[in-house]
Amino acid sequence: MGGLHVNKGAKIGIAAAATVVVAVGGYGAYNVATAIGDGSSDSAKAKPRTVVAEPPTAEQAAAGAKAFLEAWAKGDVAGAAALTDAPDQASTALTAFQDKVKPSAVHLTPGGPTAFPSASAAPSTSAAASAAPSAAASAAASASPAAPAGVPLSFKASLEFADTGTPWNYDGVLGVVKMSDGKPAVHWTPSVIHPHLGPGETIAVKPVFATPAAVTDRNGKSLAAFPSVAQLLERFKTSAPQGSPQDAGAGVVITPDSGSGAPEKLFTVKDPKPVPSLKLTLDATLQQAAEAAVQEQSKGGTHAASIVAVEPSTGNILAFANAPATGQNRAFSGATAPGSTMKVVTSAALLEAGITPSTPVACPSSTMVTGLAVKNDFDDARPNNTFTDDFTQSCNTAFIEQGSKSLKADSLPKIAKDVFGLGLEWHTGLSNFDTKIPTEGSMAGAATEFIGQGKVQTNPLGMASVAATVQSGVFRQPILVPGSDQVKAARTLSPDVLQNLRNLMNQTAKVGTAKDVMAGITADAGAKTGTAEVAPGKATNSWFTAFRGNLAVAAEVEGGGHGADAAGPAAAKLLKIGNSG
């Protein structure tokens, strides 16, 4: 069957088309310069037309499709648009296609009866009349209370480009409806241009870059064997930093006009320059330990668990793992209360407020918050405690009562953001949840946040960064792709406050709630356990954050109990290996 094209005409034989009933929008009057269908020579005079419920005959549908495709192939945008039920919208879209895709030749071959590939490609009564035409195309004409019938017909497109000898071939579909003058018209939708093109999208030739041949760890080792990473490797490839303009090729691409969402490449016009493998910040040795740690402490995935390791001196993420390995990346996207690991941040605020490690801060057996009694993990009152004792023993009541005296309702969210970067917008290389610590309207509301409960939401990524900030003294936003932009915190802690905070975490590792987990790895190290209550009668979540040398780790195990019971051993597994980079 002959093709329609821009360089020379050809007579097209059209197969008889069977009528298929589909819902169609497009009621409204249009000025039409050209009409097809009954062979009359009186079609030169424009007449307002509307879509009717009756479908065109098979012969009318075939003739209408042929005339439209012939005009489009010749570059006659006005003529092609006039043969649709929405001439203005069709003209805008077809003009944009010519200007942005710029094919050197267009060949369009009519086919026969078919079905629409998706509901979005079919004429629909839900198309919005108010949709503004875009560079891509706009929605179909105004919605109609009735549902006229149309005939879907296939066609084959073959487009040529000056930069390549390979044509772009694809199968298209268009619907033909009957107008009030008895003649056919192509029902206009963006998918007439290409089946994947929808309202609010643009199709154009744009620069394209090659994806990395492989994704490796920082030493060039494969990451394909690690379940938590393997499912994300393709995402890393497509989101890898683009090279220089000289390395770009060109391709036909569909992009959302909103700027959100991933572009879809349809055809390569010019091949981009190949790029080497993408090296992530991950370390295969630590990644292997992380995968094993969450499997062990989650009891083979019975409890959801996750872990993150960060390099304090750079912010580089050295490992992350989840159990189960598929599904949500809890390590980055989890949003739950971290329990007493948040006391690291609260302690920084208290130290800045004048509390010292030796300040007497009694630890009562319980205290009241908004009418509810808050207790500790131990039953006895400890009236002679110092602040160091309260931190190493993780005394909830002391933190609530002293925090209510020394801090303001916004103290915790402010220092969390200004010093530890929690609440800033992080771009790590993967989707991530940014820690939220709301500013409460009263001290009663803020009190539970001091112990990592209430409305505080974070994940191991956030808490590993907290430990990393304490170790290095500077917040460095965690990243997975070397050289990525890193947001900066507004300030750092004073040397005295920073050293006191380090000492509190070190004492916890040596003699406090983390001593058993951290046995043998306390030199240049610090830790904090966390036990987060999530619901009455439900097992508590286990949290742990720690640093050792140039390595910071945080882990959580859902329903894992105390921080030292499950999350602690998982983190310690990585801390014992250390950072050899």
Residue 12 lies in a domain: no
Residues 224 and 189 placed together within one structural domain of the fold: no
Burial 57-81 (b: 16+ CB within 10 A, else e): bbebbbbbbbbbbbbbbbebbebbb
Average pLDDT for the chain: 87
34 vs 345: which has the higher pLDDT: 345
Give me the percent of the chain exceeding a pLDDT of 90: 73
Residues 312 and 355 placed together within one structural domain of the fold: yes
pLDDT at 44: 46
- Residue 349 confidence (pLDDT) above 90: yes
- What is the longest distance spanned by two Cα atoms in the chain? 105
Question: Which of 255-259, 398-402, 433-437 is the least confident region?
Answer: 255-259
Residues 129 and 187 placed together within one structural domain of the fold: yes
- Write the pLDDT tens digit of every residue in 13-50: 333 333 333 333 332 333 333 334 444 444 445 567 89
Among 235, 258, 279, which residue terminates a domain?
A: 279
pLDDT at 275: 80
Q: Which amino acid is at 157?
A: A
298 Cβ neighbours under 8 A, 6+ residues apart: 304, 305, 323, 557, 566
CATH code of the domain in which 490 resides: 3.40.710.10
Residue 306 lies in a domain: yes
Domain that holds residue 226: 215-279
**Calpha distance 175→19 (Å, rounded):** 11
- Residue 388 confidence (pLDDT) above 70: yes
Residue 435 lies in a domain: yes
Q: 3-class DSSP state for residue 478?
A: coil
**Calpha distance 207→212 (Å, rounded):** 16
Dihedral pair phi/psi, residue 174, rounded to 5°? -135, 155
**Calpha distance 489→362 (Å, rounded):** 33
Q: Which of 560, 525, 522, 519 is nearest to 543 (CA)?
A: 560
Residues 195 and 86 placed together within one structural domain of the fold: yes
pLDDT at 117: 67
Looking from the CA of 468 toward its CB, the CA atoms found within 13 Å total 31
**Calpha distance 211→277 (Å, rounded):** 9
CATH code of the domain in which 108 resides: 3.10.450
Q: 3-class DSSP state for residue 475?
A: coil
User: Per the structure, how many domains does the chain have?
Assistant: 3
- Write the pLDDT tens digit of every residue in 487-537: 999 999 999 999 999 999 999 999 999 999 999 999 999 999 999 988 788
Q: Which of 445, 441, 452, 451 is nearest to 370 (CA)?
A: 445
**Whether the predicted model's global pTM rises above the 0.75 cut:** no
pLDDT band for 250, please (50, 70, 90 cuts). very high
3-state secondary structure 29-70: CEEECCCCCCCCHHHHCCEEECECCCCCCHHHHHHHHHHHHH
**Calpha distance 546→293 (Å, rounded):** 15
- Write the pLDDT tens digit of every residue in 117-165: 654 444 443 333 323 333 333 333 333 333 346 899 999 999 999 989 8
Residue 141 lies in a domain: yes
Q: 3-class DSSP state for residue 328?
A: coil
What residues pair up with 581 in beta bridges, in sequence order?
A: none
Residue 9 lies in a domain: no
Question: Which of 11-15, 227-231, 362-366 is the least confident region?
Answer: 11-15
Q: Which of 330, 295, 332 is nearest to 310 (CA)?
A: 332
